[in-house]
Structures are given as C-alpha cells and as structure tokens.
Amino acid sequence: MKVLLLGAPGAGKGTQAQFITQTFNIPQISTGDMLRAAIKAGTPLGLEAKKIMDEGGLVRDDIIIGLVQERITQADCANGFLFDGFPRTLAQAEAMRDAGVNLDAVVEIDVPDAVIVERMSGRRVHLSSGRTYHIHNNPPKVEGKDDETGEDLIQRDDDKPETVQKRLQVYHDQTAILIDFYGKMSGDNAPKYIKVDGTQNVETVKQQVLTALGQ
Ligand code: AP5
Ligand code: ZN
C-alpha cells in the first residue's frame, strides 16, 4: 500500500500518519522529519536546510527527490510506505510519477488557514520519533513529556506565527496545485482520492481516513 498524505502545514498529517502506518504496517516517510534529523545530526544537508526551514521556505527539489528516491529502495519499503509532506511541489510529484511510483491512495486533510495558526502555537513534538501532541487538543499524559519514552517534548523552531504565515503562503503557492494533479488523474495508475474534513477531532479524522482506505 502506497499512500500520500496531502495538506497544509499543521493540517494533521503527522498526527494521522501514525494511525495509517500502524494499521497497514508500512513506514512513514516524512521529509520534514528527515530534514530535522539531519539538522540535529549537524550534517551538511542539515546546515543548509535549517535556514530555509526556519524561514518557512522549501528545500530544493533535487535534494528532496534524491533523499526520497534513496529511502524508498530500502527493505522496509517493500510493502509500501506513507508519504508525509512529500511530494510538495509539481516537480517532486512528476519525479515520482516518472520514476514509476504508483500511489494507491491520496488522502487530503482539509483545514482552513485560520484554524492552522492556533494549532501550531500549541504543538509539541518528540523529536526523535516525530510523535506530535497539542497542549489542548491532544495533550501528552504527562505535561512536556513523550508518552512512550518520557523524554522531553519541544516546540519546533518553525512554529513561530510569522513563519507559519509564510509556510501557509508557500503551501498555497506551490503545494495546493497537487490537489488537482492527483485529484484529476485518470487511468489505471490513478490513486484513489480521499478528502477528509480535518477540522474534526483527531479520532473522527482517523476513523474517516481508515474507513476510506478500506479498514
Ligand atoms: P514538515 O515537517 O513536512 O511540516 P509541514 O508540512 O509544514 O507540516 P507540519 O508537520 O507542520 O504539520 P502536520 O500536517 O504534520 O500537522 P501535525 O500532525 O503536526 O516540513 C517542515 C519544513 O521542511 C518545510 O517548511 C520545508 O522547509 C521542509 N520540507 C519538508 N518536506 C519538504 C519537501 N518535500 N520539499 C521541500 N521542503 C520540504 O498537527 C499540528 C498540530 O495540530 C499538532 O499540535 C496536533 O496535535 C494538532 N492536531 C492534529 N490534528 C488535529 C485535529 N484533528 N484537531 C485538533 N488538533 C489537531
Ligand atoms: Zn508533520
């Protein structure tokens, strides 16, 4: 099963990703998580990506495409994978199509911009696993601590309100076009297109996504 989660920053892609990967036993491929890991490790990619991410821009297509192409050849991707935050530009989507990556489903999580800004300010993440919480909507069992490891939760550097506005603008300028790219695809290789109202609570979104994916 090859699934793509599409949606604005803060729409809930990371939150829903964990349910899909557990249900279908496929790995999550989050380019955002991969870049944050590179930043934490201090690699040349991390150093280059940090400035761009802190400003809310997009990392270059060739770098991202190379990262993902390498990742999907790994053994754990043999039964499929979940793309989270990738493809994010038309060039990235075309590169996957041209590489023969046929998605089974595209899940669009639809959330208006006004809701996003509030969500980002309350977000807390566990950096090494990517697990995501919200101080009101989805709180951890112990304040400031990850449920599974007990390790500290952090606030992402790009969750400042002005950076969130920039990321939303970049989403509308460069990523929203993929709604049409995938939604209007036809033929044998066209993925099932699923659109979910992401303003509903986490559990309701989860049920609707899993049902639409056949669970
Ligand atoms: P990335 O990490 O992909 O960030 P993003 O797409 O901006 O999305 P987020 O992770 O911010 O949000 P999400 O949709 O996962 O929401 P979440 O579940 O956390 O990318 C970061 C940066 O890396 C980019 O800006 C770019 O610079 C670079 N990059 C990454 N991929 C790239 C690519 N392919 N090409 C180029 N550059 C790339 O939820 C948000 C909050 O809301 C949480 O607190 C959560 O608890 C809460 N929440 C979730 N669902 C609900 C709900 N239903 N109700 C109430 N609250 C909810
Ligand atoms: Zn995310």
ipTM summary value: 0.97
Q: Is 13 a residue of the active site?
A: yes
Whether the CB-CB separation of 155 and 123 falls below 8 Å is answered with yes
pLDDT at 188: 85
Segment 161-175 mean pLDDT: 95
Residue-level pLDDT at 5: 98
Lining residues, ligand 1, CB within 6 Å? 7, 9-15, 31-32, 35, 52-53, 56-59, 64, 85-86, 88, 92, 119, 122-123, 132-134, 137-138, 158, 167, 198, 201-202, 205
Contact 16, 70 (CB under 8 A): no
Domain hosting 92: range is 2-213
Mean pLDDT rounded to a whole number for the chain? 95
* Marked catalytic residue, from 50, 131, 167, 206: 167
169 half-sphere exposure, CB direction, 13 A CA radius: 9
Quick: pLDDT tens for 22-62.
999 999 999 999 999 999 999 999 999 999 999 999 999 99
Annotation says 156 is catalytic = yes
pTM: predicted TM-score of the whole model, two decimal places = 0.94
> Does residue 161 carry a pLDDT above 90?
no
Q: Which ligand is nearest to the CA of 158?
A: 1
Closest CA to 67 of 40, 42, 36, 103: 36
Q: How many percent of the chain have pLDDT more than 90?
A: 92
Ligand 1: atom nearest CA of 35 is 23
Report pLDDT digits (tens) over 112-142: 998 999 899 899 999 999 999 999 999 999 9
pLDDT higher than threshold 90 for residue 6:
yes
Report the domain count for the chain. Answer: 1
Instruction: Answer whether residue 143 shows pLDDT above 90.
Output: yes
Which of 88, 119, 124, 206 is flagged as catalytic? 88
What CATH number does the domain containing 179 carry? Answer: 3.40.50.300
Is the pLDDT assigned to residue 160 strictly greater than 90?
no
Q: Report the pLDDT value the prediction gives residue 113, as an integer from 0 to 100.
A: 93
Within the chain, strands assigned E span 2-6, 28-30, 81-84, 105-110, 123-125, 132-134, 192-197
Q: In whole angstroms, give the CA distance from residue 11 to residue 85.
A: 11
